Structure 1
Amino acid sequence: MYEHGGNIHGFETPMVDFSANINPLGIPEKLRIAWIDQMREVTSYPDPAYRKLKKAISDHHFLSGKANILLGNGAVDLIHSVIKSVRPHEVLIPSPAFSEYRNASIRNEIPYRELVLYDCLGNLQMEKFLKEVKDRSLVFLCNPNNPTGRALKASDLERILKKMEETGSFLVLDETFLPFVEEEKRHSLLGEEPENVLFLRALTKIYGIPGVRLGYGILYNEILAKKMNSLQEPWHINTFADIAGQVVLKETGYLQETASWLRNEKAFLYRELSTVPWLTWIESDCNFILVKSSYASAEDIQRNLLEDQILIRLPYGFTGLSDHHFRIAVKDRSSNLKLMKALQKIKDIT
């Protein structure tokens, strides 16, 4: 069973894809131009040290010389390599959460506990979570969480970091969706330079380029960084991804436009969702919304939406979600209108 969104390739007609949380503004124009202008670069191997790309990441986050920057073929690449490198006693996954945390644990034969620790409003139950952190664990925490969309504040993360230190544990803080959150710095500990945290980022969703697989990690533990680097093959980031990172991380105007779009379209979707009496949802801090139906299963809803060439994210792979849950991305106005009209006309599902 496919556990991710964005699988549009099995359909004969083009789909409006609400299953993948991709910025609908699309590829930044400066990146389109850079790819064309630098096409000749594909005739050479990429820089094996990726110096320009790493400098762009460092400058974007104002990192100090203590930071180790790790590159991945998407963030998932780094999820697997950090487990191989840390080799914890166990992995703890507060759920519902991204299924690749579990999959990476299984593939690397590390015992894991996946516990439903988010409440019905999408918030992490902090006291329950902290009690579950055992000695020498590796903890995956998505901030904002996928699929609930809620972001932890820096003060919450401080408490979690203290627990990591007390138990000799390691935290993988997946910040893939954090660039979509307003006042991003209020929800991150990146500037505090903790040695027992891997900060995970990806450029694919915020800059609308999921086909260009580029994730990165920021780590203040040099020994662990060397272990993770040793697992990577030479030239593991291709030239197009290398160029993309160098260009988009300087794109401040694009991020401002994204923030304005997201603010307006989330407000629109909340208003429209409130007109469908059999739907409830969690207010999200990022670019997707977790919805629950009291009327029909997500699979039944999806079958109806296929008549309008619309895909939603089904609950496959998310421990703790019911078969009535589904997730929708926030898209452009015309797409959002199409989704809401299709949901509003569903009257009888048999």
Structure 2
Amino acid sequence: MTMPNPAREEVIALPPYGAGQTIEQATARNLHPNMINLSVNENPLGPSPAALNAFKAQLHTASCYPDSQCTELSERLSAELNVAREQIVLGNGSEDVLSMLCKAFLNQGDKVLVAKPTFALHGIYANMMGAKVLEVPMQSDLSYRIDDWLDAIACHPDLKMLMLANPSNPVGCTFDANSLQRLIDACPLNTVIVIDEAYCEYAQGHKQFVDSLTLLQAQPRPYAVLRTFSKAYGLAGLRVGYGVMANAQLADYLHRVRTPYNVNRLAQLAAFAVLQDPSYLASTVTQTNSEREKLSAAITELGYFVAPSLANFLFIDVKQPSAHVASLLLQQGIMIKPWLESGFDHFVRVSIGLPEQNLRVLEAFKQL
């Protein structure tokens, strides 16, 4: 007798998220004696010493439940961002907050606008709720084109949610201040505007990047700005991110759909500590951005198209199936992300590593 399938149709149709293997798993398979993982945009410098010390000092408290409201961390972020603590929602990574947004605000059939290509969970979580995902393709030079977004918004006056990664993942491009303002102004007043700024620390200070929170605070539409401690802050393994909501009421709706202890106590402590170590963030961003420009220029000289990036990765047209190239580099001990999305399956995303790791990438590209 066949067991009935209890899953919702929306769930059955979802694609699995391609998280890939860990460096420990790749090493265990004896693929290479000196494996490096440049596939998931981690900070190659490792955690901040301040975060490590906070983690070690409180490891003995692991038997205790965490603060379900993340009070101290929320208060610290409130002071850093100059927003009310009640507007901040902490999550098990910023994608946890993204999931909350979809659970709280999307109904079946709601329209959601996303980029193509983009972070896969933008579409996956919206589809999970039965929403209709609409894609705005990037230009041939892999930049955001504001007119395409404005046209898409104009065609859908009932748009429920707009999700935008700024900087883009997997490309690294951004909307500048003028374009982002036009995008916001074009949205219907009841559209929930979600700006995913997971990589904002690498772009801050650049003329092509604007802090979206400043623009969103000056207008009446509901919004959420998502940020994370997984990238520039070096805490990917602890899973902690947050959203800044337009007001406390919207934040409360997210609290109603999250699990009560969704950020573990050691993650809260480490995140609080790294916020008190600005020199760590500064050195991370300076080294990463410098290495990104060097590697981008060197790979471009080899004849490859490298999309301009303000993040900690490069999106590269390898002119052949991306999975094949990723397999070749894996044999050399280099883990990268093959992009498998239709229309972009000849691109790979390569995280920026330490200088010696980036040299290995360059040598591998010379051999392709």
TM-score scaled by length of structure 1? 0.90
Provide Cα deviations, 1:77-107, integer angstroms capped at 9, x if missing partner. 1111111211252111121101101110121
Please give the alpha-carbon distance, in whole angstroms, between the structure 2 residues aligned to 1:33 and 1:206: 18
Amino acid at match of 1:337: L
| Structure 1 position 142 matched with structure 2 position 165 | yes
Letter in 1 for 2:97: L
Residue 297 of structure 1, CA deviation? 1.9
Deviations 1:308-350, CA, capped at 9 Å, x for gaps? 111111112x4541x211111111111001111112123xxxx
Q: Is the 8 A contact 1:144 1:175 kept in 2?
A: yes
- The offset of 1:218, in angstroms, is 0.2
The alpha-carbon deviation at position 155 of structure 1 amounts to 2.1
Q: 1:7 to 1:102 in 2, by over 3 A?
A: farther
CA contact (8 A) 1:67 1:218 kept: no
Matching residue's letter, 1:307: Q
Q: 1:344 to 1:136 in 2, by over 3 A?
A: closer
Matched residue SS, 1:48: coil
8 Å contact kept, 1:97–1:319 = no
* Separation in structure 2 between the aligned mates of residue 43 and residue 9 of structure 1, nearest angstrom: 26
3-state SS in 1 of match to 2:237: coil
- Kept in 2, the 8 Å contact 1:178–1:184? The answer is no
Contact 1:66 1:220 in 2 (8 A): no
1:287 aligned partner: 312
Equivalence for 1:130? 150
Q: Which residue of 2 aligns with 1:187?
A: 210
Q: 2:200 aligns with which of 178, 202, 205?
A: 178
Structure 1 residue matching 2:139: 3-state secondary structure: coil
What's 1:71 paired with?
A: 90
User: Which residue in the other structure is 1:270 paired with?
Assistant: 296
Question: What secondary structure does 1:157 align onto?
Answer: helix
Give the deviation of 1:51 after TM superposition. Answer: 1.1
Shift of residue 21, structure 1, vs aligned partner: 0.8
Mapped to 1, the partners of 2:102 and 2:270 lie a distance apart of 27
Partner of 1:156: 179
Report the equivalent of 2:23: 8
Query: Distance in 1 between the 2:302 and 2:132 partners?
Result: 42
Distance 1:329 1:305, change over 3 A: same
The residue number in structure 2 matching 1:238 is: 264
Are the equivalent residues in 1 in contact too, given 2:164–2:196 (CA < 8 A)?
yes
Give yes or no for contact 2:87–2:247 (8 Å, CA) kept in 1.
Answer: yes
Give how far 1:122 is off: 2.1
Asked if 1 retains the 8 angstrom alpha-carbon contact of 2:316 and 2:347, the reply is: yes
Does residue 215 in structure 1 map to residue 246 in structure 2? Answer: no
1:94 aligns with 2:119: no
Percent identity over paired residues: 24
Q: Is the 8 A contact 1:98 1:147 kept in 2?
A: yes
1:160-179 deviation per Cα after TM superposition (whole angstroms, max 9, x unaligned): 11112x35311110000111
The C-alpha deviation readout for 1:25-73, integer Å capped at 9, x for no partner, is: 1110111111111223324322222210101211222x23386100111
Deviation at 1:153, TM superposition (A): 1.8
* Matches of 1:280 and 1:5, distance apart in 2: 25
Q: Tell me which of 334, 339, 342 is aligned to 2:364.
A: 342
Task: Give the alignment's Cα RMSD to 1 decimal.
Answer: 2.0
CA contact (8 A) 2:300 2:306 kept: no
**Residues 160 and 24 from structure 1, CA distance in 2 versus in 1: closer, same or farther, beyond 3 angstroms?**
same
Name which of structure 1's ranges 8-17 and 28-37 shifts more when overlaid on structure 2. 8-17
Structure 1's 132 and 66: CA in aligned 2 closer, same or farther, altered over 3 A?
farther
Partner of 2:7: none
Hey, what does 1:313 align to over in structure 2? 337
Query: What letter is aligned with 1:158?
Result: Q
Distance in 2 (CA, whole Å) between partners of 1:257 and 1:76 is: 26
Secondary structure, counterpart of 1:71 in structure 2: strand
Mark the runs of 5 or more structure 1 residues left unpaired by the alignment.
none
TM-score, length of structure 2 as denominator length: 0.86
Q: Which moved more, 1:250-259 or 1:210-219?
A: 250-259
Report how many residues are paired.
339
Greater shift, 263-272 or 238-247, is seen at 263-272
CA–CA distance in structure 2, aligned partners of residues 167 and 27 of structure 1: 41
